Amino acid sequence: MSYKIKLRDNVMYATSPMVNEDDIADFVSSMNVYKWEGEGGRQPGQEVGRQAGQEAGQLSGQLAGRLPEGSAHPYPVKEMQLGSLKISDWGMSILIPCVLRSRNLVTLNLSSNDLTNDSAKILAKCLKYLPRLASLNLSNNLIKSDGANEIVEEFFPQKLTSKRGFSPGGEQMDTNFHLNSQVKNATKNMHTKNAIKNMHTKNVRELDLSDNCLGPSVLLKLSQVISQDNNETIKLNIKNSQLGDANFFAFFQNCTHVHNLNMSENGIASALFADHMEMLFASQLNLKELHLSSICFGQSGTDKQEDGNELLNQLVKQLREAPNLSVLSFANNKVDDHGFSLFCEFLKKNKNSITAIDFSNNHISNMNSLSEALKNKETLKMINLSSNRITDENLKHFCYETLPSNLSIAEVSLSNNHLTDLSCAYFADALVMQCSFVERSVKMKTQLQGGVASQDALTAQGDLHNACGPPPAWEEFPEIDSQKSTSNSSEGSSSPLHLSKAKRTNFKNGHPQMIHTWKEVITNRHNEQHNFFSCIGVPSLNRASETSKLLFLQEKRRNLIYNKNDEWYHSCDSFSLNCFKGLKYLNVSGCRINSQGLTLLINALAMPYCALEFLDVSSSSSDLTDATHQAFASLIADRKCKFERNDTFHFEHLPLTVRGVAPTLIPLNDSEDNTDGDSIESEWWNYKEGDCPDQGSDEAA
C-alpha cells in the first residue's frame, strides 16, 4: 500500500499536493501498530502493519522493519511539514491523536490549509502536551480572532518548563523548514548536524499567524503574553492579519523579547505611526528583524494616501535606538529617491548592524546615495531594489565606486528595473575588479608565507583597480565613459579590512581535511535540493503568498550562504577571499538583457577568483543565441570541474548556478500549484559528475 503521508528522518511530510481524510487516517492507523514509549502493550496486527510500512517506505532506514521485538521507542515525529495540502477541520481532527503522541515535536507547519477556528481551538488544547514545540506555522488559513487567541495563550505559557529550552534554532529552521519534498535523497548535511548540536543552547519560539482574518483582540492577547520574561527569543509573523491602530500601542509596549517582527500588509500606517515606532524601539531589547512592507496600501491593494517618504523618515529617526537591527524590509511603500536618501544618510552617519535591506517595488531610481553610504561600511550584505526605476546610468556609480572594493556586499537584486546590456558591462567590470582585489590579497599571503612581504606592501593599495582591465567585449560599448574603469577615487592610505586580515593569516600546510570540509559546504549549496531562486520543489509553499515565498528564499540564502561564509571567514582565514567575500548572488531577471550583455558577464565569470556563484537572468530577451546557451553550459561545467580538482586553500574557481538560460520548453517561473520535486532549475546546468570539459565533454546535463 502506498501512503500519501510518509515519515523519514523524523519528518512527517506529504507526497501529494492534496490529501484527504482517508489519507490522514491511513497514516495515523499505520503508526498505531507500533509500541511507543509511555504507551501500553502491542496491538493486534502489529507485524502486518510493520511489513506494510516497510514495503511502502513509510519509515526511514532506522525505523522501517528494524524496531526490536518487544521494545518500546520514542514516537519518531519531530517535524510535521503539512503545508499547502488543503487539510480541512475534519482532517485535522483525525490528525490530532498523532499530534498528541508526538511529545518530541519541535516544528509544526500547517500553513496554507483550510483550517478554521474549530481546528485552532482543538490544537491549542494540545500544545500543553508538546513541551518541545518551538515553531508553529498556521499562516494562510481561515483562522479568526477567537482561535488565534487560544493558540497565543497556550503557545506562550506563563512559565516555561525545562524542556521548552529545546528549540530548533535559526539555522535548523532554515535547513529543515519546508523540507518535505526533499527528503528523497537523504538530505542530512553538515548544517543540520551542527544545528542539532546547538539545539539545547538556543531558546527560540516562532509563531506564524500571517494571512489570517485576525483582529485587534489578538494584538491585546499578544501584548499580555509576550511581555513575560521567559528568556525566550520570539519570532512573530502577523503579516496581512487585518490589524489596525487598535491595541498597537499596548502591543509595541510589550515587544521586549521579540527579535523578529513581521507586520507587513497591515493598517499600521496612520497619524500614530511615529508614536508607535517610538514605543516599539523604546521597549525592545534586541530587535533583529523588522518587516514593514506594503503598509501604504489597503487589503485590496488600494492606495491609502499615506506618504511613504514620511513614514520612512519617522522610522529612520527611531533606528538609532536599535543598534542590533540586522534585517529591514520596507518594500512597496511608495518610497522615492528623497525618502531612500534619508535612509542612506542614516546608514552613512550612524553605527548600525544592518546586513539586509529590502526596498523593492518602490519608486527609487538613484543609487548614488546608497553607493556613498557604503564606501566605509562593511556590514550590509543583501540589497533588494527589484521592481524600481533604476536605469543603466543610475547603476554606474554603484558598480565602479562601491562593488569593486566593498567585498562585504554579497547579494544584489535588481530584477524588473530598466536595465540593459550596459548594466551587464558595469557588473562585468565590477566582477573583474573584485577578481584583481582577491588575487592581490592571495599574492600577499603567499609573500607572507615566504617571508618576503613587507608591512608597506600589505598596507599600500597602489594600483589595485588599475590592474583591472575592461572586459573582452568592452569595445562594443563606446558610449561608456572611459574613466569608469579606474575608480582611483576610492584609494586611501588605510588598509581595507580584507587586506588587513592577510597580516594575521594562518599559513599552515597539510590541511586536506579542512579543504575537503569547505568543499562539501560549497557543493551542498549548489546541490539540487537547494534552489535559491524559486520555491519550486517546496510543496508546503505551493499556496503561500508571493511575499512569504520571497522571505523564505531570502532567509534560506542568508543562512546557507552568507552566514555560513562568515562563520568560516572568522574561524579560518587561510582560504582565498573569494570563498567568503565578494558578490555571490546577482539577480537581473526581467530586464532588457540579450546575448551581447550576457557575453560580457560570461567573460567576467570566467576570470580566476571570481566570487559570483548564483546568477538569475530569467525572463531576459528571447533572442538569446545558441552560442550564448553553449557558452553558459561550458562555463558552468568548467568552473565546477576546476573547483572539484582544487586541493589548496586558494580557490581560483567556484561552482556556478545560473537561472534563466535553460533549454526550450522547461518552465522558468514558479507557479502556485507546481509540485514537481524534480524540477530543480540548477539541474539544467549542472553537468554530471566527472564530465569535465577537458575530458571531452562540453555539454551540461
Averaged over 472-479, what is the pLDDT?
A: 46
Instruction: Tell whether the model's pLDDT for residue 663 goes beyond 80.
Output: no
Give the CA distances from residue 629 to residues 64, 93, 280, 626, 685, in Å, rounded to whole numbers and listed in that order: 45, 52, 51, 5, 10
| Alpha-carbon span 255 to 449, nearest angstrom | 51
Residues 211-257: tens digit of each pLDDT: 999 988 999 999 888 877 666 789 999 999 988 877 888 888 888 88
Q: For the chain, give the number of residues.
A: 701
Instruction: Tell whether the model's pLDDT for residue 350 goes beyond 90.
Output: no
Which residues lie below 8 Å from residue 347, measured CB to CB, with a gap of 6+? 354, 370, 373, 374, 377, 380
Which residues lie below 8 Å from residue 681, measured CB to CB, with a gap of 6+? 531, 533, 534, 536, 659, 662, 666, 668
The region of weakest confidence among 382-391, 396-405, 460-469 is 460-469
Averaged over 622-641, what is the pLDDT?
A: 87
Q: CB burial class (10 A; 0-12, 13-18, 19+) of residue 109?
A: buried
Quick one: pLDDT band at residue 2, thresholds 50, 70, 90?
Answer: confident
pLDDT score recorded for residue 134: 95
pLDDT score recorded for residue 230: 64
Averaged over 575-590, what is the pLDDT?
A: 95
Quick one: pLDDT band at residue 446, thresholds 50, 70, 90?
Answer: confident
Give the CA distances from residue 41 to residues 96, 421, 575, in Å, rounded to whole numbers and listed in that order: 21, 71, 57
Quick one: pLDDT band at residue 666, thresholds 50, 70, 90?
Answer: very low
Instruction: Tell whether the model's pLDDT for residue 290 goes beyond 70.
Output: yes
| Alpha-carbon span 637 to 652, nearest angstrom | 15
Inter-residue contact 355 to 381 (CB < 8 Å): yes
What would the grid cell of residue 121 be? 481551538
Residues 159-202: tens digit of each pLDDT: 544 344 444 444 443 333 344 333 333 333 334 334 433 433 45
pLDDT score recorded for residue 585: 98
Q: What is the mean pLDDT of the chain?
A: 78
pLDDT score recorded for residue 173: 39
What would the grid cell of residue 456 be? 608597506
| Alpha-carbon span 115 to 120, nearest angstrom | 7
Quick one: pLDDT band at residue 328, thresholds 50, 70, 90?
Answer: very high
pLDDT score recorded for residue 48: 37
Question: What letter does residue 560 receive in the DSSP assignment?
Answer: I
pLDDT score recorded for residue 672: 44
Residues 407-444: tens digit of each pLDDT: 999 999 999 999 999 999 999 999 999 999 999 998 88
Residues 127-151: tens digit of each pLDDT: 999 999 999 999 999 999 999 999 9
Domains belonging to the chain, first-starting first, are 244-380 (3.80.10.10), 421-532+561-695 (no CATH)
Residues 269-281: tens digit of each pLDDT: 888 899 999 999 9
Quick one: pLDDT band at residue 59, thresholds 50, 70, 90?
Answer: very low
Inter-residue contact 677 to 184 (CB < 8 Å): yes
Question: What letter does residue 559 receive in the DSSP assignment?
Answer: I
pLDDT score recorded for residue 530: 85
**Angle made by CA atoms 456, 460, 464, in degrees to the nearest 5:** 145
Averaged over 312-332, what is the pLDDT?
A: 94
